[in-house]
Structure 1
């Protein structure tokens, strides 16, 4: 029976492919196709597909005069197409202990030119819920460090053409304000190599081969130490938001991202109205509760990519990445209205308000104080006009309110293309980002298109396709002068270790092995899009 169900699904793929090529389909042909599925699916034991097909038949007249577009056909048949994918998905072997991802798991960057080692470590570490970014090209690792923002970096010392110490040296010199633990690994376990690793600033050295369980414990310890140090050095003890020491590091990240992507950024300065009166009337302990409550409200109401700082006293700062001035004003005003409803307890219940000024960071090459002063001037205007209001920098000129991000699905399987497009279209977005999704039937069609040339583009790329396979497409992308605009997720067969190895060498940003769970794909895409924003 399995042979016949496979033939059934291949027929569905073939028909969808034919319709995509044709562009439009006569109603009679669509009706016959549904009628055929209604009969054969139930015979093969695919009762759900049979039931869905019969329901569709009842909704249509065979003699109806109509031409269907491909999009209309796919929308009409989507439940059936989706079920075809899920039927095949049920046979997937799930790794024991493998956890689902929520986008907040620890991120580990592994830099090693040994692709077998990368593949093994990625598979094993993702079983425990870590998100692993494997990098086979040390030159690519430097840019990935900015994009990924890892919780720990694992660096092999001896790589073809590059010494791991050079990568370590770059990280330590260029990213002095950021504490990212680095663990050096090497097959050479000499005293000289170990000493040099520590002298150059490595946080640990682990000799290959190592016991995986011990490796995980040591890396986890480094990530816990990172969290503790950030809390001690960069977190305000009372309010548990970042302190002003972290502003320089955060602005450096703004400068790096803006130089590469040209995104809009905004800064807001917020000040609790009449806070001295709160301390005088209710006492400093109640005043501290107000500060903690205000900080908690800001953390709750801002987005995950926004950063909240306590600048001093009752004054706070928020950095809004990838946000226009109009959007930043709207966000802060919503926060303002919500905070005015928060009730605090003293000798009597009371509420507080705040005033705020917002400015756009129009030129990140200028010092941060330039933009802080503009936001502070707007704050002064807000206080002068009666408080409990948000004002924007009056001299600012708004940037374009939207950033376009392209998402290309390149796969010769029409079932997968249809299901993936539906997944991508439902991914949570941001108000300032507009997703433009396009599907391609083969690699040649993608390479020959000028649709993706001018904007950041996430490419979901099948490894095996006719005319031009995924590796050839990846090689073409990485040979382009603007290749840094592309993030590539390769879809490969579990048996094609050579293809996985080659895709890492060519600069794929991540890979998944087929068949895979759709929830796993959704989480992985969310991680990659977050790195591109």
Structure 2
């Protein structure tokens, strides 16, 4: 019986290697020739603009026609597409009679064709730059091309309304192993900034319809984004612009035109300094994982995301069993090695989206996004099994094995970060009480009610506040500032959602934004006056508005608002007014 060998033979492999080598050589020769052709095309276009003649037109057409056919053969599909666009633009020249070109050429569409060609040749020049870079990187042993920027593996946001430049910079930065998201305007950029976490923003200053200065304001007002590194690109070498940008928080200012290598070096330097600062400010120096300061900052951002895109998230509180005994018996240096070993094991068994931080001493905390409590318990139990199976540290030939106790709590609507951490900590304490070396899930709120009547009674007595505003950042700031009060806070992103909530639940007070999509605050007040089901009764309304006109203030108060504040406002003053309206003094 014969057997078919599915593995590639040595001859087949050598043929494949030879073909790849020939293609690489062909690409190199193509790019070298493409450089000459680009110079010719630019020179011919200048001549055609000033004194069009059949010879130059035919020569220009021959070159672009050649590029149209040859580029895709070597894998340069984009160059072929641009050449095809040029061929289409200049196709009319092929119907000219060379004997009467002096008569026909001046009345032909030369001006329109040359104007359209300038932009396409600009794109071709960028394609040449990218092609040359790819070849240079391919010739090096390191697939990353030895790029210093590539070593940082960063995620960048590029904001520029020039589609050609944006596409070019994106592809060059991707060659340097950066993940790049693009935005053509400020509105798109703000959406991306709310959805993703970036290491740096590259921002064009002069854009339409909104200038780059608008994004400065957005970044400045968001406490989670105000420290994000920012490089400004501008076509104006204007001192006032530079000074204004630096005052607003820009970290660097690059004037167009610029060399990519210079921009890449500036990005690298800024990211390197930022990462060094992060290492000092947000990393635990012993274990290398995040510290409590960073955890407090990041967990707030995670909850803001859940506010926009509801999903489960669980928190794990871990404490090493009998850690004091290790320190007392073997010394603190051994205890430090054990902490490093456990931190490493935790880090390598968690997802990149999970947040691990050292909370203090022998305690660690883990946030698991998109994870319900049952799933989180299973995940941490698997890690505990690995800790049991193998030593986490070794010192002077001696190995050290440990166990840990863990508590898991799933975040619930209305829960503060402090309450959330406390529930996970309580579950961990229960694990300790039941013999250590185990993972316990926190008792859910409905099950805990009958076992903690005092806490339930206190919860019932809390007054209800409804915050109605289409700005998620402002809602988060207001919640953060008011959540220490004895109140339960509910959110609505627009007037229509607020209507539904008002029909289904009683509120003691409402912070209402005047200007919102779908149904603004004034219209909502109007409906509350007309519809008996929505009668605000004892509910107090604090109106917020970006308009400072006296007519708007009078209008809001006339329609039933109990108080009125204009943006921007003092959070201290707002808290005082809320406490007064809700009788919390």
Give the TM-score normalised by structure 1.
0.55
Evaluate the alpha carbon distance shift between residue 306 and residue 156 of structure 1 in structure 2; reply closer, same or farther with a 3 A threshold: same
Number of residue pairs aligned between Structure 1 and Structure 2 = 311
Quote the Cα distance in structure 1 between the aligned partners of 2:386 and 2:152.
26
Aligned residues of 1:359 and 1:396 also touching (Cα < 8 A):
no
Task: Provide the residue aligned with 2:182 in structure 1.
Answer: 134
Q: What's 2:418 paired with?
A: 369
- The runs of 4+ residues in structure 1 deviating greater than 4 Å are 98-104
Query: Structure 2: how far apart are the matches of 1:339 and 1:177?
Result: 37
In structure 2, relative to structure 1, the CA distance for the partners of 1:151 and 1:177 (3 Å cut) is closer
CA RMSD of aligned residues (A): 2.7
Please give the alpha-carbon distance, in whole angstroms, between the structure 2 residues aligned to 1:266 and 1:223: 31
Say whether the 8 Å CA contact 2:185–2:210 is kept in structure 1: no
Alignment of 1:117-196 (within 5 A): 117-176=165-224, 179-196=227-244
Q: Deviations over 1:31-66 (max 9, x none)?
A: xxxxxxxxxxxxxxxxxxxxxxxxxxxxxxxxxxxx
Q: Equivalences for 1:40-189 in 2 at 5 Å? A: 92-93=75-76, 95=131, 96=134, 97=137, 105-176=153-224, 179-189=227-237
Structure 1 SS opposite 2:364: strand
Work out whether 1:331 is the aligned partner of 2:331. no
Mapped partners of 1:189, 1:243: distance in 2: 42
Q: In the TM superposition, what are the counterparts of 1:454-493 in structure 2 within 5 Å?
A: none
- Of 293, 305, 308, the residue aligned with 1:245 is 293
CA distance 1:254–1:397, change in 2 (3 Å): farther
- Richer in strand (by share): 1
Please report how far the alpha carbon of residue 90 of structure 1 lies from its aligned counterpart in structure 2 after TM superposition: 8.9
Tell me the equivalent position of 2:253.
205
2-structure distance, mates of 1:315, 1:178: 30
Residues 477-515 of structure 1: per-residue CA shift (max 9 Å, x gap): xxxx9xxxxxxxxxxxxxxxxxxxxxxxxxxxxxxxxxx
Cross-structure match for 1:225 = 273
**Shift of residue 196 of structure 1?**
0.7
Cα contact 1:269–1:379 (8 A) shared by 2: yes
The correspondence for 1:261, drawn from 290, 309, 314, is: 309
Is the partner of 2:389 in helix, strand or coil?
Answer: coil
Equivalent position of 1:358 in the other structure:
408
Q: Return the offset for 1:117.
A: 1.7
Contact map agreement 2:338 2:400 (CA 8 A) in 1: no
Write the distance in 2 (CA, Å) between the matches of 1:260 and 1:155: 25
CA contact (8 A) 1:180 1:226 kept: no
Give 1:409's aligned residue.
Answer: none
Q: Distance in 2 between matches of 1:151 and 1:349?
A: 39
1:288 to 336, 339, 343: 336
CA–CA distance in structure 2, aligned partners of residues 160 and 324 of structure 1: 44
Tell me how far 1:107 sits from its aligned partner. Answer: 1.5
- Look up the match of 2:430: 381
Q: Cα 1:193–1:253, aligned 2, differ >3 Å: closer, same or farther? A: same
Considering only CA atoms, is the larger Rg found in Structure 1 or Structure 2? Answer: 2
What is the SS of the residue equivalent to 1:340?
A: helix
In structure 2, runs of 5+ residues without a counterpart are: 1-71, 78-130, 448-517, 519-585
Deviations 1:257-293 (A, max 9, x none): 2122211100000000010000000000000001111
- Once the two structures are superposed, residues 104-151 of structure 1 have per-residue CA deviations (whole angstroms, 9 ceiling, x without a partner) of 932111111121221121122222222221100211211201323122
Distance 1:371 1:253 in 2: 15
Q: Would the aligned equivalents of 1:178 and 1:249 in 2 still touch at CA under 8 Å?
A: no
CA separation of 1:397/1:154 partners in 2, compared to 1, >3 Å: closer, same or farther? farther
TM-score, normalisation: structure 2: 0.50
Distance 2:409 2:278 in 1: 28
Distance 1:232 1:103, change over 3 A: closer
Residues 213/350 of structure 1: CA separation in 2 closer, same or farther (3 Å cut): closer
Q: 1:103, 1:165 → 2: CA distance?
A: 31
Higher helix share: 2
Map of 2:327 onto structure 1:
279
- Give the conservation status (yes or no) of the 8 Å contact 2:224–2:301: no
SS in 2 for 1:219: helix
